[in-house]
Amino acid sequence: MDVIDHLFIRGERVKPSTSSTITVVSPWSEQPVATVPNGTTRDMDRAVAAAVEAQRSATWGHAPLEVRVAAVRRFADVYAARKQEIADAMVLEMGCPVTQVLQMHVEPASVAFRYYAELAASYPFVERREGARTTLVRRRPVGVSAAIVPWNGPAFLSVLKVAPALAAGCAVVLKPSPEAPLSAYVLADIAAEAELPAGALNVVPADRDVSEYLVAHPDVNKVSFTGSTAVGRRVAELCGRSLKRVGLELGGKSAGIILPDADIDSTVAALRTASFANAGQVCTARTRVLIPRARYAEVCDALASMADSLVLGDPNSSETEMGPVISARQRTRILEYIGIGLAEGARQITRRKPGDVPDTGWFVPPTVFADVENSMTIAREEIFGPVVCAISYDTVAEAIAIANESEYGLSGSVFTEDLEAGLAVADRIQSGTFGINTYGNDICAPFGGVKGSGVGREMGPEGLEAYLEYQSVLVPSL
């Protein structure tokens, strides 16, 4: 078992303030694989103080743009060189299959770091505007930023916060999830190897109470949080007390709308990943599949066959398509939802039952329910597991209404052979992102949700701008 006995503060490995530790357990082996320090409020004070010092320094917060860009480029270079190490850490801590980790987490994170390094190099941090008077509009770092990430995609989600924050000139305190802190330690090592200025990035794993302390810390200027909607509301409440800047990327219950003309084979192939990647532990997962009534039986059969064919097993194997869920507690929670679905009258159309999984690991069988009404619990609440609801509709207008009848608004897809019909559907869906015959997101475009799915945007130039404040400076006409 790996024993990590340090925090990463002010560019150095430092001893924690207490001997309290967090045990990291492999979801695959169900055995402890590492221990890391359990950060305290004193540790957070040290990390925030280091970030404040960096923010005020000539080496980071007040460094010339070219210095900051060079540092982020170095970070991107080292990250790219150590991708496999990050992937190995993620497989160990979260049980996601290695092929998915590389393709969906680590490689996109590497692209994101490079994107923000180059965006900062060309971004108009100062703009001259001529009106009745001459004004210089300056975009300045918002200040010390807290990045709080969940366990279901720690490498990519950390980079989506750290990379734009650094590119903007902010100093960061990264608080990884207690369930999956190992990849954050690789990120800290990368920062050291890239010779990031001291205090620009600090890493302290901790439990919820210390996370709240970080969020409310008076020297933290911005909080970026990814996680559940319930916790997001608490983060927003704490930030609201001091009018602190906050970005929230929260839960989802995204719909995949199949139009009557859709090609079923290609649609179901897309849903194989869009609904079941990372054992369904994805906030953008298409967990409600809306099917025209005339094709309902056909599509349900195809969905069930696809889910039954998914290969469950060792996440280290390139053959594995679905690994275990993150913890025994999460498995119990998902199985309870499956029981609720059956009790409410939904019909399970997949063959595998809870016992039809590998003997070792916290596995949940991929499950598809038919005869689901959108009012059912399994269609309304975020299960965060491999459970898909098949819902029938009669008209496209009804499908749109069902998709929008949710407290969430994060993502979704429409599947059709008619691009104009797909665009017409997209125009009426209440979500931050949407795909036509596809899923996922691109680093160049903003990502985030509406309604209960969050506030603010990550990715794209908007992701950089989330870490900037505007200052207007009136000057004599030149």
Instruction: Kindly list the catalytic residues.
Output: 249, 283
182-193 vs 83-94: helix crossing angle, rounded to 10: 160
Only one residue has tokens 């190099």, namely 121
Residues 6+ apart with CB under 8 A from 32: 1, 23, 24, 25, 26
Comparing CA positions, the residue from 301, 387, 384 lying closest to residue 339 is 387
227: left (phi over 0), alpha (psi -120 to 50) or beta: left
Structure letter (DSSP) for residue 451: G
Burial of 319 by CB count in 10 Å (0-12 exposed, 13-18 middle, 19+ buried)? exposed
* Pairwise CA distance, residues 351 & 353, whole Å: 6
- Other C-beta atoms closer than 10 Å to the C-beta of 265 total 10
Structure letter (DSSP) for residue 104: I
Comparing CA positions, the residue from 451, 452, 441, 448 lying closest to residue 465 is 448
* Pairwise CA distance, residues 149 & 161, whole Å: 9
Q: Are 245 and 239 in contact (CB under 8 A)?
A: yes
